[in-house]
Structures are given as C-alpha cells and as structure tokens.
C-alpha cells in the first residue's frame, strides 16, 4: 500500500478541482470539513467519500449559489428535499435572464443615434380618494408584489373608474427599497384585505407616455427627467405611473401604454 485512503488537502484539491485555499475556506465556513484534522499540526485530511460533496459544491458555486445556501442544500439529508432546493435555483436564473434581456433592450434604445422627440404634457391632477394597496417593497421583488397587489385590487374594486396607477417612492430606485402604492380609482373605495381607501394629494405633473413593455422604461424616465430639469421646474414627491393599456388589457406588449407623471412644483404659463 502506498497510501491509505486518506487524502492531504493537495491531493483532494487535485481530485475535486477545487483550489487548496478554497477548500480551507469551505472548512472554515463549515461547508465541507475534512474527515479528520491532526490536532498537533492542523493538517486537514479528507477521504474519497467526500469527493461527491465537493463536486456538488463546485457546481452550485458555478451557478453562483451563495455559500450559506449551498450549506442549506448539503445539510438537507433527504435527496428529494435536496433536489427540491436545487430546483429552486433555475427560477432565480430565469429571472436573472429576464433582467439581462431587459437591460439589453434598454441599451439598444439608449445607443440608438436619433432619439425620437418626447411629448410632455403638464397636467394638474386633483386630489382623489382611491382604493389602494401599499407596502415597503424591494426592487427585485417589485414585479411579484405588484402582480399580487393588482390582483387583490381587481377582486375588491367593483366599479373602477379609469386606469390603475402607481406611486413610487424615489428611495426604491436609489436604495433598492421603498414605499410603493398601487391604486385603482373608484367611486366608493372598499376596505378588504390589504385594500383600503387612500386620498392621493393633488399634484402638478409633467406627464409623458411610454409605449411598449417596461424593459426600457428607465430611458423614458431619464428623458422626462431631463425635460423637467431643462424646463426649470422643481421636483417634489413620488413619481406616478398610470396604465391606460397594460397586461390586463392585451397580451401584445407593444400596445401597452404607461403614463409617467413627474411631480413638478410650480406650473404656470410663465
């Protein structure tokens, strides 16, 4: 026998294609400890049985699964529940891909040499009491939250008057988390579940309409913002959106129309 089936860290590294330092890190993190540690020297010794675990970690890391999550997956002893945890991640990858697609679309529009002119309308919006759902939401959970809130709103409001809309706190974009309010105008706002009446204050808005899916809506935001700045109107308060034509109305995303209303402080003929 040349070597007992006990592996020094370097051998284990060659067998698993994980770097020596990385193995030490995984040990420190409690992710993949050696089968035995020499107390006198600190030497780590692994066994061949640990190779599959190391490979699983390697693959999960290639999928950018964070180490604590990897730990949770390895801790779950049942292969079925383990598989379930792993199956969770394609979802994450899916949404990642979606984000990428949107960024590419937006980039294409940004790099387009001739931006079409922007139609901006100044509009005085009176105060109104509406049915609303509101919460503090993180940017990456926004879409899911939005879908749920809108569904609840739809179920609760019997006679909607006009298009639904949103008020978005700026903090949502600056810090990735902020207050969001989804509303639906109606004569008598109900109170059911998360749905409750809210009185939106009167505002003066600089309004433009974004056409198509929201992939590149940030570009329209920027153009509207530039317009507001160029026309010397001070800003204040949350941005408003309205959805005259949205996913509820048609599956043809190119037909969607989103009004973006930027609060302006001083509107007058001068």
Partner DNA sequence: GCTGGACCCTCCCCCGGGGGGAGGGTGCAC
Partner DNA sequence: GTGCACCCTCCCCCCGGGGGAGGGTCCAGC
User: Which residues contact a copy of itself (rule: CB under 8 A)?
Assistant: 1-5, 7, 11, 13-20, 48-49, 51-52, 54-56, 58-60, 62-63, 79, 82-83, 86, 90, 93, 97, 99-100, 102-104, 106-107, 110-111, 113, 170, 173-175, 218-219, 221-223, 225-226, 229-230, 232-235, 265-266
Taking residue 145's Cβ as centre, other Cβ atoms within 10 Å add up to 16
Query: Quick one: tokens of 98?
Result: 């979606």
- Shortest distance, position 248 Cβ to a copy of itself, whole Å: 26
Taking residue 158's Cβ as centre, other Cβ atoms within 10 Å add up to 10
- Residue 5 contacts DNA per CB under 7 A: no
- Residue 91 contacts DNA per CB under 7 A: no
Please identify, using beta-carbon distances, which residue of 11 and 152 lies nearer to DNA.
11
- Residue 9 contacts DNA per CB under 7 A: yes
Helix or strand run (H / E) with residue 22: helix 20-28
With H, G, I as helix, E, B as strand and everything else as coil, classify residue 249: coil
Taking residue 75's Cβ as centre, other Cβ atoms within 10 Å add up to 11
Measured distance CA(10)–CA(18) in Å, rounded: 10
Which of 17, 30, 36, 38 is in the footprint of DNA by CB under 7 A?
38
Kindly give the residue spans of alpha helices, DSSP state H, lying in 63-170: 67-75, 79-111, 142-156
Please identify, using beta-carbon distances, which residue of 66 and 193 lies nearer to DNA.
66
Binding at 51: pick from a copy of itself, DNA, none (beta carbon under 5-8 Å per type): a copy of itself
Query: Quick one: tokens of 160?
Result: 């909607």
Closest CA to 139 of 113, 167, 172: 172
- Residue 43 contacts DNA per CB under 7 A: yes
Beta bridge partners of 209: 259
- Residue 40 contacts DNA per CB under 7 A: yes
With H, G, I as helix, E, B as strand and everything else as coil, classify residue 120: coil
Question: x/- binding map, residues 59-88, to DNA, per CB under 7 A?
Answer: --x----xxx--------------------
Among positions 110-169, residues that touch DNA (CB under 7 A) are none
Measured distance CA(69)–CA(57) in Å, rounded: 10
Q: Which stretches of the chain bind DNA, using CB under 7 A?
A: 2, 8-11, 13, 19-22, 24-25, 38, 40-44, 61, 66-68, 175-176
């Amino acid at each position: 026998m040349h070597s007992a089936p006990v592996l020094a860290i370097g051998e284990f590294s060659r067998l698993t294609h994980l770097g020596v330092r990385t193995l030490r890190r995984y040990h420190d993190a409690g992710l993949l400890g050696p089968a035995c540690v020499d107390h006198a020297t600190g030497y780590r010794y692994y066994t061949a049985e640990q190779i599959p675990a190391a490979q699983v970690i390697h693959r999960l890391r290639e999928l950018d699964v964070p180490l604590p999550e990897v730990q949770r997956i390895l801790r779950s002893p049942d292969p079925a529940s383990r598989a379930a945890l792993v199956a969770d991640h394609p979802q994450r990858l899916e949404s990642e891909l979606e984000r990428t697609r949107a960024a590419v679309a937006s980039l294409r529009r940004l790099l387009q040499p001739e931006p079409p002119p922007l139609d901006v309308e100044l509009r005085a919006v009176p105060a109104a009491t509406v049915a609303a759902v509101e919460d503090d939401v993180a940017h990456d959970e926004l879409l899911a939250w939005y879908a749920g809130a809108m569904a609840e709103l739809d179920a609760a409001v019997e006679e909607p008057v006009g298009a639904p809309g949103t008020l978005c706190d700026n903090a949502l974009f600056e810090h990735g988390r902020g207050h969001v309010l989804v509303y639906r105008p109606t004569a008598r706002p109900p109170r059911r579940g998360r749905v409750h009446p809210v009185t939106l204050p009167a505002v003066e808005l600089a309004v433009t309409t974004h056409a198509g899916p929201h992939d590149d809506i940030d570009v329209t935001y920027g153009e509207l913002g530039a317009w507001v700045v160029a026309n010397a109107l001070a800003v204040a308060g949350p941005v408003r959106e309205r959805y005259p034509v949205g996913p509820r109305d048609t599956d043809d995303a190119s037909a969607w129309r989103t009004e973006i209303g930027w609060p302006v402080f001083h509107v007058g003929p001068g």
